[in-house]
């Protein structure tokens, strides 16, 4: 508890200074009492919390306060998806707070509400059946055009764009978003806290017969995207597939009709992000930092992200996959499923530091698969535990995969860490306190 109280008091102090014109020492006992009252209010209201000093990359430079200093007229409480988007669209860049009460459903009207006139899924399946279309060329023609138009309509309806200087916070233990895609795009200073975000279900996946040997269904819409934005704090949220896990999805042409994309992506020049005390659960391609090997022009020197005290439970891969960025992943708990690809993906020019994490790995899963080499890049792995025992993740990986040897030493040492716990304590701490409803 002491670490989180310190974090909140840091934010409270900033708010006090903002409201008192920078007063650092109260002149009277009355002034002291007034400052204490403001500090207490800031601690008690998660909407007014700011990211503490030294708490990951999001605290660098100007830090991340979101809408903590919002005046009363810039505080909105919303109960529907329409109200949520309207609150975000209110003009002005002054700090705002959007409080989410209950579950906001972005697709309450169902997939049929987005269908372009003439789109017919059985017709689509008949037209692009590999027995008819083959595997050599991408699909085209009227039904593909109507599918794309339907997908565009869904995208317009389910994306919510977060403005600069904004805090979005769930009220209570049952606040969340179903079917929506939260877009943090081209802005600075955003806080997202205490939401259960159920992965949006793509109503119109595209069939690509050229994807792999047998073709694949490809979907859109991440639960949350940080795109070209800076100073972002994502804290105490739960990301899940909810009522529609991959195991519930149908198969067409012998392939899973994949309707999910990622849970969280940090891409295209995004920078200075802290993701703390979140739960990422029951998902395949979960968290991607950098989405293209060819994006060096926007991503090189950016994509600096801290991941700490997060729970990755039954995540198959990308926890995270990294390109370009200096990523600090420490004090996270990875509960690995039996059907597992990898956790930490080492990609183009990445500089990942993975330190003092805990991994719970079932029998039959090779520890060497925790790391995955996508491209030659250095990585630091220090002080990690697997099933409660110290393991040199890099050495085990290199021994198990001699054809995919990874280099030791990410080339930098993280300094922005407000709280570092013994990895033996991490499963209990994270299991008890991470996720939506876990604010203390």
Residues annotated catalytic, as ranges: 318
268: its two tokens: 């295209």
CA distance 395 to 138: 42
Sheet holding 181-185, edge to edge: 159-161, 181-185, 224-227, 264-267, 287-289, 321-322, 344-346, 371-373
Q: Within 13 A of 79's CA, how many CA atoms are on the CB side?
A: 0
DSSP letters of 353-381?
Answer: EEES-EEE--TT--GGGGEEESS--EEEE
Tell me the C-alpha distance between 2 and 52, whole Å.
13
Name the residue among 41, 93, 86 with its Cα closest to residue 66. Answer: 93
Contacts of 383 (CB under 8 A, 6+ apart): 355, 356, 390, 423
User: CA 184, CA 161: separation in Å to the nearest integer?
Assistant: 6
HSE (CB half, 13 Å, CA atoms) of 402? 1
Q: Work out the number of other CB atoms within 10 angstroms of the CB of residue 403.
A: 5
């Amino acid at each position: 508890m002491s670490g989180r109280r310190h974090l909140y008091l840091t934010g409270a102090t900033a708010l006090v200074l903002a409201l008192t014109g920078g007063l650092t020492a109260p002149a009277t006992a009355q002034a002291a009492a007034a400052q204490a009252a403001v500090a207490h209010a800031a601690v008690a209201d998660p909407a007014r919390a700011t990211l503490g000093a030294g708490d990951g990359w999001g605290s660098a430079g100007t830090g991340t306060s979101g809408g903590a200093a919002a005046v009363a007229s810039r505080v909105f409480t919303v109960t529907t998806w329409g109200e949520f988007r309207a609150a975000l669209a209110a003009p002005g860049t002054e700090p705002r707070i959007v409080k989410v009460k209950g579950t906001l459903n972005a697709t309450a009207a169902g997939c049929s509400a987005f269908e372009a006139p003439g789109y017919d899924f059985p017709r689509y399946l008949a037209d692009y059946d590999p027995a008819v279309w083959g595997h050599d060329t991408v699909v085209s023609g009227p039904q593909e055009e109507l599918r794309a138009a339907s997908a565009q309509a869904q995208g317009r309806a389910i994306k919510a764009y977060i403005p600069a200087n904004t805090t979005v916070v769930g009220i209570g233990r049952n606040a969340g978003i179903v079917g929506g895609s939260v877009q943090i795009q081209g802005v600075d200073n955003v806080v997202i806290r205490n939401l259960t975000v159920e992965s949006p279900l793509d109503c119109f996946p595209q069939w690509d017969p050229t994807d792999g040997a047998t073709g694949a269904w490809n979907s859109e819409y991440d639960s949350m995207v940080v795109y070209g934005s800076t100073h972002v704090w994502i804290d105490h949220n739960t990301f899940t597939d909810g009522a529609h896990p991959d195991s519930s999805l149908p198969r067409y042409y012998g392939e899973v009709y994949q309707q999910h994309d990622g849970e969280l992506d940090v891409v295209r020049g995004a920078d200075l992000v802290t993701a703390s005390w979140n739960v990422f659960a029951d998902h395949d391609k979960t968290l991607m930092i950098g989405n293209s090997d060819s994006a060096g022009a926007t991503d090189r020197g950016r994509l600096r992200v801290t991941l700490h005290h997060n729970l990755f439970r039954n995540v198959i891969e990308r926890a995270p996959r990294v390109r370009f960025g200096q990523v600090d992943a420490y004090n996270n708990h990875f509960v690995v499923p039996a059907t597992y690809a990898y956790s930490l993906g080492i990609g183009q020019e990445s500089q990942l530091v993975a330190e003092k994490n805990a991994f719970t790995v079932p029998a039959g899963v090779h520890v060497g698969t925790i790391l995955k080499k996508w491209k030659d890049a250095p990585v630091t792995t220090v002080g990690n535990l697997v099933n409660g025992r110290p393991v040199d993740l890099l050495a085990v990986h290199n021994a198990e995969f001699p054809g995919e040897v990874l280099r030791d030493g990410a080339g930098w040492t993280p300094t922005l860490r407000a709280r570092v716990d013994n990895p033996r304590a991490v499963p209990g701490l994270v299991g008890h306190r991470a996720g939506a409803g876990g604010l203390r």
